[in-house]
Amino acid sequence: MASKTAYKRLTKEYKHIQDEPPPYITAHPLESNILEWVYLIDGPPDTPYAGGQYWGTLVFPPDYPFKPPAIRMMTPSGRFQTSQRLCLSISDFHPKSFNPAWEVSTILTGLLSFMTSEEMTTGSISATAVQRKQLAAMSRWWNSTGGGSHSGGGGKIGFGDGGARFRTDWPEIDRKNWQWMRDNKINPQNGRVMTVAPLASSKPEGSSTDTSQTAQLVVVADRASQSWLSRNKLMVATAIIVAWVAMGRIFQHEVGGA
């Protein structure tokens, strides 16, 4: 149960974060418990997380702001272990270093800053930029299906309960995620595209070059990049063979004439 100080402080901070949300961050407390907050981070551009949707929790102690919250991220990111407490200077791993002047927005901005760095700590993991980009592309699907467990097609990770927890915490975002999956023909069971438009039917808008013409241009460009010998090696080989045979016949004729 929150102390009067914690309740008053968190109520004030909720109003502040609504009025002035930090870049790429949204957060709110649960209706049933002001000490438990959920946040959503939109992956910043020019990072491997661009386009990603990262959902997590902050659990504050009853005597906040004199002690920091426990911080977790539920969405697979390639940066943090899912649903594990993160060891940060702004988290409950380091209560003595926490500054009571820091607010929820300060904490989440610090989390995002740490996420986009490569510093390692308890709860963080290593991954390549390609892996993180792949996870970012699948993050909305993962959040709203619980990693596929919504349709019985995947295992549960953290709150991977068919997306029920995410749907409760973020009902409007969840609806948008499902619409995004329908629009992009994403299979809810595995997060993959169910159908792909045939290549022949695709054409850049405003372009008069069709697929066959494009293929021809690729061939021409490829041939132009090759040397004359590479482009005409069959003709050269044929000429060498013909010359060799002709020389052989001339030699035989001279020997026979002698």
Q: Which long-range contacts (CB under 8 A, 24 or more apart) does 50-54 make?
A: 50/133, 50/136, 51/136, 51/137, 52/77, 52/135, 52/136, 52/137, 52/139, 53/139, 53/140, 53/143, 53/173, 53/177, 54/115, 54/139
Dist. CA 177–CA 169, nearest whole Å? 13
Residue 7 neighbours by CB under 8 Å, 6+ apart: 34
Catalytic residue among 59, 87, 127, 164: 87
Strands (E), 43-129: 53-59, 70-73
Indicate whether 152 and 237 sit together in one domain.
no
Residue type, 189: Q
pLDDT single digits (tens) 188-215:
989 999 865 544 444 444 333 333 332 3
| CATH code, domain carrying 158 | 3.10.110.10
Supply the pLDDT for residue 211.
31
Residue-range definition of the domain harbouring residue 222: 199-257
143 is catalytic: no
Q: Which phi and psi angles does 220 have, rounded to 5°?
A: -60, -45
**pLDDT tens over the chain, length 258 residues:** 899 999 999 999 999 999 999 999 999 999 999 999 999 999 999 999 999 999 999 999 999 999 999 999 999 999 999 999 999 999 999 999 999 999 999 999 999 999 999 999 999 999 999 999 999 999 999 999 999 887 544 444 444 588 999 999 999 999 999 999 999 999 998 999 986 554 444 444 433 333 333 233 333 333 333 344 444 555 555 666 666 666 666 656 555 555
Dist. CA 233–CA 7, nearest whole Å? 82
Average pLDDT value over all residues in the chain:
82
Dist. CA 246–CA 65, nearest whole Å? 98
Indicate whether 129 and 49 sit together in one domain.
yes
Does residue 192 lie within any of the structural domains?
A: no
Indicate whether 113 and 148 sit together in one domain.
yes
pLDDT single digits (tens) 141-184:
999 999 988 754 444 444 458 899 999 999 999 999 999 999 99
CA end-to-end distance (rounded Å), the chain? 119
State the greatest distance between any 2 C-alpha atoms of the chain, in Å, as a whole number: 123
Tally the domains of the chain. Answer: 2
Residue 251 neighbours by CB under 8 Å, 6+ apart: none
Does residue 131 lie within any of the structural domains?
A: yes
Indicate whether 178 and 251 sit together in one domain.
no
Indicate whether 177 and 83 sit together in one domain.
yes
